[in-house]
Amino acid sequence: MPKRTLKLLTLPNPPKHIALIMDGNRRWAAKHGLGPIDGHRFGAEKTIKPLVEHAIKHGIKYLTLWAFSTENRKRDKSELQGLFRVFRDALKTNLRELEEMGVRVNIIGDIDWFPKDIPALAKAFVERTKKNKKITVSFALNYGGREELLRAVSRLLEKIKNHKRSLTKALTEKEFSSYLDTAGLPDPDMIIRTGGNMRLSGYFPWQAVYAELYFTTTLWPDFTPKEFDKALLDFAQRTRRFGAGNFGDYLRKIKNSAISS
């Protein structure tokens, strides 16, 4: 039978930046009778590329994937070694497919915590793809929201210490954002978490203030473009007022609801 293609949703105002929490890899592996690393490997090799392709088709310009949190460092040594192998393989082979698609790869988080070859590979890949413009795909590696805020404050203090910034100058939100790991990226319009947990776990505490949140019980390795479309359709049905809006909007909504019923 010929392979069925997914009909592309028509989105009047697609999100510019979507951030994902890739949760459920180990549960997926246990469910399929596999080892603790197999879910991560499947997600890296089979799940990411189709989602990036789908995001490009929808005109989404930024995709950020949380691949390893600061809390993940607490896992046992054998599992960490397995994750490091997945990262190495992805940087050597899987991400080349993204490069060929015109993807600009970006890294956020304290990547220098990893064994030295991983940050070296990652930084080389970032440099190699910096002129690509189809979409920017950021991988959050050894990322934690609180640590990011502390890094931002340290960068600010370093600038003051080196007399590159006046201590008396008022600090603005725009300037503080420039010290974050995500400097140069727009705040996410939407954050998707797979795996069923309904929390952000410290993901983008500064950047997520107006992000639309979407939680799904689908485990990350099963998060297909079809599941992605469910999230995008949910986003399209939301009204984003950013604290503004008119009271008349609510009256019209009530009136239209009464007419349709």
Report, as residue numbers or ranges, the catalytic residues.
23, 72
Query: Are the C-beta atoms of residues 136 and 63 closer than 8 Å to each other?
Result: yes
CA pair distance 124, 109, nearest whole angstrom: 16
Contact 1, 46 (CB under 8 A): no
* Beta-carbon contacts of residue 249 (< 8 Å; ≥ 6 apart): 239, 241
257: CB partners within 8 A, 6+ apart: none
C-alpha span between 14 and 55 (Å, rounded): 10
140 vs 65: CA distance, rounded Å: 6
